[in-house]
Amino acid sequence: MAELQRILTEVFGLLKLPDIFQFLVPYVGVGGGVDAKEHVPLLPMLEYTLIFLAGIGTLFGLGLAITAKKFSVKTDPKIEQVMDVLAHAH
Amino acid sequence: MEFAKLFEIIIASSLINNFVFTRFLGLCIFFGVSRKMETAIGMSITFTSVMMISTALSWIIFHFIMVPLEITFLKIIIFIGIVAGFVQASDTIMRKISPGLYYKLGIYLALISTNCIILAVPLISAGEHYSFIESIAFAFGSGIGFALAMIIMASIREKLELANIPAPFKGTPIAFIVTGLIALAFTGFSGLIKI
């Protein structure tokens, strides 16, 4: 109970942003590949996650767009028009 | 010493822990494409090459970016993205550079991008702390194991077309039964390497 009071006074008394985060999610484990830690700082992890995902998304998007542009294959639109007219009997 | 370890990994992933017959992963492609020997061989070649390259890419991104930043919990999403992006890019490039190869193997590329084995190989090699060469050897062994499974299955199914099978078992059901029997046979490999 004393612990809870201390946490409550800490949260409502000081209202520091990182403290609130620590209260809400005290421990975040990192599983697989690396050894699990007792405590992981949440905010840097969120930052790195967002930056990494945005970066790799941009990289892959640009790469695919450039590839599609550079290696594009011209197809005759007449082929599609003829296929549309034909019966789709597979 | 190093070569002995690599050889062990290749033998273990292709025979002892064969992905199809021991772990039962990637069965959708296995049953879908193993009807004819020609498609089975084409699929195996495409599968092994895509798996080796995507495992190498995943290893580089995992060990040089994700481990230092301590965001390894993202590995499933990132590995799916890497495989899908690589497959899409190779599909586009192959269509332009060698249309013949594209019409032979292109249909398999779209199937591969959502395969379980392709995703399981980088995940397992990240979990087992494999080095770069070891993870490529693991991918190669898994590809060889998959090719072995496909070729065995295709040769049996081509014979089954002519066999006198009861009507309810024709097609896929008998293929499932045959897979179970081969899986039983593959348990015989389990004592091959002492760990």
Say if CB B26 and CB B32 are below 8 A apart. Answer: no
Nearest CA distance, A2 vs chain B (angstrom): 34
- Provide the pLDDT for residue B157: 92
**Residues on chain B touching A35 (C-beta within 8 angstroms):** none
Q: What is the ipTM of this complex?
A: 0.73
Q: What is the pLDDT of residue A16?
A: 52
Task: Confirm or reject contact between B71 and chain A (CB < 8 A).
Answer: yes
Using CB atoms within 10 A of its CB, is residue B172 exposed (0-12), middle (13-18) or buried (19+)?
Answer: exposed
Per-residue pLDDT of chain B (195 residues; tens, 9 = 90+): 688 889 988 998 999 889 999 889 988 888 888 888 888 888 888 889 989 999 999 999 999 988 888 888 888 999 999 999 998 888 888 888 888 888 877 778 888 888 889 999 999 998 888 899 999 999 999 999 999 999 999 999 999 989 899 999 988 899 999 999 999 999 888 888 765
Mutate to test the interface with A, among B92, B93, B130 (most CBs of A within 10 A): B92
Q: Is A40 buried (19+), middle (13-18) or exposed (0-12) by CB count in 10 A?
A: middle
| Domain residue limits at B109 | 2-191
What pLDDT digit, counting tens, does each position of A8-62 carry? 666 666 555 555 455 444 444 444 445 556 677 788 888 889 999 999 999 999 9
Question: Are the C-beta atoms of residues B66 and A41 closer than 8 Å to each other?
Answer: no
B73 and A30 in contact by Cβ < 8 A?
yes
Nearest to A67 among B62, B92, B129 (CB): B92
Contact between B70 and A32 using a beta-carbon 8 Å cutoff: no
- Residue A31: what pLDDT? 45
Residue B156 near residue B40 (C-beta atoms within 8 A): no
Band of the pLDDT at A89, cuts 50, 70, 90?
A: low
DSSP states of B29-85 = HHHHHTTSHHHHHHHHHHHHHHHHHHHHHHHHHIIIIIHHHT-GGGHHHHHHHHHHH
Instruction: For residue A10, give how far its alpha carbon lies from the nearest alpha carbon of chain B (Å).
Output: 29
- Give the alpha-carbon dihedral of B186, B32, B121, A68, to 10 degrees: 160
Interchain contact A45–B (C-beta under 8 A): yes
Give the residue from chain A lying closest to B68, CA to CA: A34
Looking at the predicted structure, is the pLDDT value of residue A7 above 80? Answer: no
Query: How close, in Å, is residue A12 to chain B by CA atoms?
Result: 31
Residue B67 touches partner A, C-beta closer than 8 Å? yes
Q: Would you state the pLDDT for residue A38?
A: 66
Residue whose entry in the numeric block shows the structure tokens 């065995």: B152
A58 touches chain B (CB under 8 A): no
Q: Are B176 and B45 in contact (CB under 8 A)?
A: no
CA distance A2 to B91: 63
Structural tokens at position B190:
């389990």
Site from A42, A52, A70 to mutate, B interface, most B CB atoms within 10 angstroms: A52
| Residue partners of B35: CB distance under 8 A and separation at least 6 | B154, B157
**Count of structural domains within chain B:** 1
